[in-house]
Amino acid sequence: MDISSILQGGYQHPLSRSWQGRRALTKSMLMYPIFITDDPEARVEIPSLPGQCRWGVNKLEGFLGPLVKKGLKSVILFGVPLNCQKDGRGTPADDLTGPVILAIKKIKELFPSVYIACDVCLCEYTDHGHCGLLHDDGTINTGPSVERIAEVAVNYAKAGAHCVAPSDMMDGRIKAIKRGLIDAGLGNKCTLMSYSAKFASALYGPFRDAAGSAPSFGDRKCYQLPPTAKGLARRAIQRDATEGADIIMVKPALPYLDIISDAASIAPDHPLACYQVSGEFAMVHAGAKAGVYDLRTMAFETVESMVRAGATLILSYFTPEFLDWLEL
């Protein structure tokens, strides 16, 4: 089967079907990013992300149960391995006994209605903290990086993930992952959500504290997009749509509303996601704490601006609050 022939990966689940239409903000448009660590009993607060914790798999029932009751529809999992041997190729990423694969299975068993996406990247699992494999001189080695990232994505899909979401920004990974899913018989069973336009932003700081994924040297400017690069973002969105992405994502969200709007016109027939990242969430909280505005009003204003720009799916740490605030 050819890559461009596969559409069913994007609507195999009732929730991913709902993302194929456009509407006002509802609970089903929110995807909650959660951090899973390898101590099964962990519940460790993340100081820079108010109200967010690193969770062990044995705590997921107590954590997610009340949210599912309030209408939580989907989560995106980030692995935070603290007790594993990291190496140059991110071997622990798809360890069958690692936190992500265990959490996929646990959440499926406990909450079969919850749609499970997995962030796919190597930075949490490599000893150098970069998102791909490196040459000896420290630059990205694209071919083997793409191969490894596709392997991890397919292994998450095999473990039962409804959606795999590569955030590494290596050229060619969307095509390779789609090919890998098709070859594994999962092309029509797993959604491929591409972090297509991921900018090298100052807003990822709290996430890097949470996930322990700051690079040990250098930065990510050679693979994440320069904040001024509207043209590159448009080309990346176009390319990923052509390479077989089922959902396009823009990240961060608030400083890049123009890119969200561009994506909506470049790929009008795809669901469009945006990620209100850790630094955006922390900013909304900090402003509210300083008395600049009301937290709830500002949370709505930011997320509704993303919907207005064209987003149909929003990854947000405010998801638990929105489940209280929204009727539907």
Ligand X SMILES: NCC(=O)CCC(=O)O
Q: Which residues are annotated as a binding site for 5-aminolevulinate?
A: 208, 220, 278, 317
Q: What CA–CA distance (Å, rounded) separates 153 from 141?
A: 18
Residue 277 sits in the site that holds ligand X (CB under 6 A): yes
Which range of residues in 131-139, 156-164, 175-183, 279-287 is near Zn ion by CB under 5 A? 131-139
Nearer to Zn ion, 123 or 203 (CB): 123
Instruction: Please report the sign of the dihedral spanned by the C-alpha atoms of residue 198, residue 200, residue 206, residue 212.
Output: positive
Could you tell me the end-to-end alpha-carbon distance of the chain, in angstroms, rounded to an integer? 39
Residue 62, Cβ density class (10 Å: 0-12 exposed, 13-18 middle, ≥19 buried)? exposed
**Cα separations (Å) of 261 from 18, 123, 314?**
20, 29, 14
Q: What CA–CA distance (Å, rounded) separates 164 from 60?
A: 20
Q: What CA–CA distance (Å, rounded) separates 64 from 322?
A: 15
CB of 208 to ligand X, least distance (A): 7
Nearer to Zn ion, 131 or 253 (CB): 131
Active-site amino acid positions: 198, 251
Residue 204 sits in the site that holds ligand X (CB under 6 A): yes
Q: What CA–CA distance (Å, rounded) separates 37 from 53?
A: 10
CB of 287 to ligand X, least distance (A): 17
Nearer to ligand X, 208 or 296 (CB): 208
For Zn ion, which residue of 167, 196, 224, 312 counts as binding (CB under 5 A)?
Answer: 167
Q: Give the per-residue contact string, 157-176, with ligand X (x = CB under 6 A; - = no).
A: ----------x---------
- Report the 3 state secondary structure along 189-234: CCEEEEEEEEECCHHHHHHHHHHCCCCCCCCCCCCCECCCCHHHHH
Which range of residues in 15-23, 56-64, 65-73, 116-124 is near Zn ion by CB under 5 A? 116-124
What residues between 94 and 153 interact with ligand X by CB under 6 A? Answer: 119, 121
Contact set with ligand X (CB under 6 A): 119, 121, 167, 204, 207, 277-278
Contact set with Zn ion (CB under 5 A): 121, 123, 131, 167
